[in-house]
A and B are shown apart, each in its own frame.
Chain A
Amino acid sequence: MNPLLSFRDVSFGYGGLDVIQSASFELEPGSCTALIGPNGAGKTTILRLAAGTLRSQSGSVILNGEELRTLPLRKVARTVALVPQQLDVPFQFTVREVVEQGRTPYLGFLRGQMTEDRMAVDRALKLADVTGLQHRVFNELSGGERQRVKIALGLAQQPKLLLLDEPTQNLDIGRQVELIDLLHFLRAEGITIFASIHDLQLIESNFSSVLLLSPDTPLMNGTPDEVLKPSILEKAFNCPPRRHPLLLERIQRYEKRAG
C-alpha cells in the first residue's frame, strides 16, 4: 500500500538553527502513530511540515503520492487537519462558529454553508462531545473543553490524516480515556492518526507505531515495543535510569523476561 504521508530527507530550521535534520519516515493509511521526543526536539515542527503550514527547506513532504508544496492549499486542507496545542480566538465567537471554520476548504468563493456542511459540523461536534457547548463562547471554556472543541474543529475538515499536537494536555484521566476511544473510533472510520504525545503508557496499548525524535540521534520509527525500550528512552530523553516510574517498571519487566 502507498503511504499516506512520507517525509524524504526533510530538513527545517528557524533562523539558521536546524531543528529537523534530514528526517525520513512514512505513515501507512489507517495507522495510528505517536510522535515522541524531548521538549524542543521539533515535534510541533514535524506536524506543521506535515500540515503544509511550514515548507521544508530541503527534501520533500509527500502526501498521497504528490509533493505537498505543489498541491493547492484547499486540497491539502481537505486531506490533512492539524489540531494545534494553542488556539487563541479574539472576540466572543461561540463554539459552533469556531467549529464551522473547519468547513473553509469546502466553501466556494461566494457559496456559504450548505446542508452537508452543517451536517459535518454537527457530526464533528458530536464526536468530540461538545454538542452541548455549541452555543457557549469559546473564550469562556475551560482548558479541557477547549481541547475538545479544537478536535471538533479538526474533524469538521473531514480529513484523511488527523495531526494532533499534544492532545491529552489539559485533559483529566476520564477525558483522556475518551480521547483514546475517539482516536480508535476515527481509526475504524479510516482516518490516519499522527499525534505528538508525552504519556508513554497511553501509547503502549493504543498506538500502532511510534516515531521517536531526539536531537542527537536519527529519527526512529517502529512498533511501541521496538521503540519504547528503556535503553532507547533513557538516551533520548536524557533521563537517569530508574528515576522515572515508567522506565523503572519497564526495566523490571525486561529483567523478568530475561530471567
Chain B
Amino acid sequence: MSPLASAPVSPQGQTPESRLRDERSPKGRLGFVTLVALLVVALVTVILFSLATGAVRVSPGAILSALFGNHPLTATQRIILLQIRLPRVLTSAVVGAALAISGLMFQGLFRNPMADPYVIGSSGGAVLGACIGIFFFSQISLLGFSVTALLAFAGSVITMAIVYSLARSNGRTNVITLLLAGFAVSTMLGSSSYFFEAFDSSSGSNHLILLSWLHGGIGIPRWTQLSVSGALLLFAAVIAMPLMRRLNTLALGDEYAHQLGLRVEYTRVGIILTGSLLTAVAVSLGGLISFAGLIVPHVARLLLGPDHVRLLPVTALSGAIFLVVADTLARSMFAPTEIPVGILMAFLGGPFFLYLLRKTKRSYTL
C-alpha cells in the first residue's frame, strides 16, 4: 500500500477488507467484562464453600438461606462462622488480592514475569521490619497504626530499593542479577529475623508469632486488624489504577517511555511504594507466602493479554480466589492438622517458577 494512492482514512481507519482481518484477536483471550463477572461469581462461591468447610459442618445452602433471613443458624454455628471462619476467609482474600496486585506491579516494573514480592525479597524485608517492631516496639503505636505495620512497610520499601538498584544497569534490568539479588536479600532477611529471637524477652510467645510468619500461616485476626488491612488494600488499589497505564508505557523500556513524555523516575517510585504497601498488608496478615504473586498475574495475562489496566481488577479477584482456595485446602486436607498455607504455596509455586524459568529462558536471555 502506498499512502499516496490510498483512499482517505475513514474515522475507523479501516477498509472493509482490513475490518475482516481485524476480527482475529489473539487466540484464547477472553472478554474483559465476561471475565470480571465470572471471577466475581467464582469469588462468592469459593468464599461460601470455604465458610462451609471445617470440623463443624454447615452446608453452603444453609449459610445462604441464613443470609436471606430464613432458617437461622444455631448459636454455635453463628459463633464459628462469624468469629472464626469469616475473618479467616476474608483475610485470605485480602492477602491473595494484595500479593497478586503487587506481583503484577513488580512484574510490570521489572518487565519480567518472574518478579514477585517473595522472589525479589520485598516480603522478606516486610517480615524483618515487622520482627523489629514486634521484638522491640510492640507497645508503641503511631497515628493509630502499630509500629509493626509501619516497619513492615518500611522494610519492604528499603529492600525493593536495594534490590532494584542492584539489578539495574544502563536502564535495563538484568534478570539474573535481579533473581540473585532477591535471593540473597531474602535469605539474609529471613535469617536476621531469627536473630531477633536471641533478644526476645517475652518467654517464647514472640517466637511462635515469628515462626507462623516465616511459614506463611493465616491466622484468625481481630476484626479491627482485618478492616484496617482491607482499607489499606482498597487504598493501594485506587492508587495503583493510574499507574497501570504507565506500566504499559514502561513496557517499551525506560528510554522510550521517557521519550513519550512519561516521568519515569516518579512513576517507578510510585510503583515501588504502592507495591511495597501491598506486600506489607499481605505480610502483616499472612506472613511469608511465596509465589502467589507470581502465579496469579501470569495466568491472568494468559487469559486476558498483558494490558495492565484490565489486568488490575482481574488479578485482584483471581488472587483473592486463589488464596481462599489454597487456605481452605491447607486447613482441610490433613484435618484436624492444619498446614500453613505458605508451605502449600511453596509446593505449588516452586515447580511453577521453575517451569517459567525454563520457558522464558530464551526470550529473557538468562
**Which A residues lie at the B interface, using CB under 8 A?**
48, 51-53, 72-78, 81-82, 84, 87-94, 97-98, 100-102, 104-105, 107, 109-110, 112, 119, 121-123, 125-127, 129, 131-132, 134-137, 139, 157, 178, 181-182, 184-185
Bound complex: CA A34 to CA B260 (Å)? 23
Any chain A CB within 8 A of the CB of B351?
no
Any chain A CB within 8 A of the CB of B350?
no
Bound complex: CA A120 to CA B44 (Å)? 41
Any chain A CB within 8 A of the CB of B307?
yes
Any chain A CB within 8 A of the CB of B60?
no
Any chain A CB within 8 A of the CB of B190?
no
Min CB–CB distance A138 → chain B (angstroms): 10
Cβ B305 vs Cβ A97 within 8 A = yes
Task: From B6, B13, B242, B364, name the one whose CB has the most chain A CB atoms within 10 angstroms.
Answer: B13
Cβ A93 vs Cβ B306 within 8 A = yes
Bound complex: CA A136 to CA B18 (Å)? 13
Whose C-beta in chain B lies nearest to the C-beta of A186? B3
Bound complex: CA A129 to CA B18 (Å)? 10
Min CB–CB distance B139 → chain A (angstroms): 41
Whose C-beta in chain A lies nearest to the C-beta of B254? A53
Cβ A119 vs Cβ B13 within 8 A = yes
Contacts of A135 in B (CB 8 A): 22, 24-26
Bound complex: CA A148 to CA B6 (Å)? 17
Any chain A CB within 8 A of the CB of B186?
no
Contacts of B226 in A (CB 8 A): none
Whose C-beta in chain A lies nearest to the C-beta of B18? A131
The number of inter-chain residue pairs (CB within 8 angstroms) is 125
Besides A77-B261, A91-B111, A127-B9, 9 more A-B contacts (Cβ < 8 Å) are: A52-B259, A75-B261, A81-B259, A104-B262, A112-B245, A123-B9, A126-B9, A129-B3, A132-B22
Whose C-beta in chain B lies nearest to the C-beta of A189? B3
- Of residues 184 to 209 in B, which have CB atoms within 8 Å of A's CB atoms? none
Cβ B242 vs Cβ A127 within 8 A = no
B interface: dominant SS: loop
Task: From A73, A121, A123, A184, name the one whose CB has the most chain B CB atoms within 10 angstroms.
Answer: A73
Bound complex: CA A172 to CA B188 (Å)? 54
- Of residues 239 to 261 in B, which have CB atoms within 8 Å of A's CB atoms? 242, 245, 248-249, 251-253, 255-261
Cβ A97 vs Cβ B261 within 8 A = no
Any chain A CB within 8 A of the CB of B53?
no
Which of B6, B259, B307 lies in contact with A82, CB distance below 8 A? B259
Cβ B252 vs Cβ A98 within 8 A = yes
Any chain A CB within 8 A of the CB of B144?
no
Min CB–CB distance A45 → chain B (angstroms): 13
Contacts of A97 in B (CB 8 A): 248, 305-307
- Of residues 260 to 291 in B, which have CB atoms within 8 Å of A's CB atoms? 260-263
Q: List 5 A-B contacts (CB under 8 A).
A: A81-B259, A92-B26, A104-B260, A131-B15, A136-B24
Contacts of B65 in A (CB 8 A): none
Contacts of B364 in A (CB 8 A): 90
Bound complex: CA A110 to CA B309 (Å)? 12
Min CB–CB distance B169 → chain A (angstroms): 13
Bound complex: CA A86 to CA B335 (Å)? 56
Any chain A CB within 8 A of the CB of B113?
yes
Whose C-beta in chain B lies nearest to the C-beta of A76? B261
Cβ A101 vs Cβ B261 within 8 A = no
Known: A178-B1, A181-B2, A185-B4. A90 touches B263 (CB 8 A): no
Contacts of A123 in B (CB 8 A): 9, 13
Which of A78, A88, A89, A119 lies in contact with B261, CB distance below 8 A? A78
Which of B25, B113, B251 lies in contact with A89, CB distance below 8 A? B251
**Chain A to chain B: the 8 pairs with minimum beta-carbon distance, closest first:** A122-B13, A77-B261, A91-B306, A74-B261, A105-B261, A104-B260, A90-B111, A185-B3
Cβ A104 vs Cβ B301 within 8 A = no
Bound complex: CA A241 to CA B285 (Å)? 75
Cβ A107 vs Cβ B26 within 8 A = no
Cβ B21 vs Cβ A132 within 8 A = yes
Cβ B14 vs Cβ A131 within 8 A = yes
Cβ B13 vs Cβ A125 within 8 A = yes
Bound complex: CA A232 to CA B251 (Å)? 42
Min CB–CB distance A201 → chain B (angstroms): 19
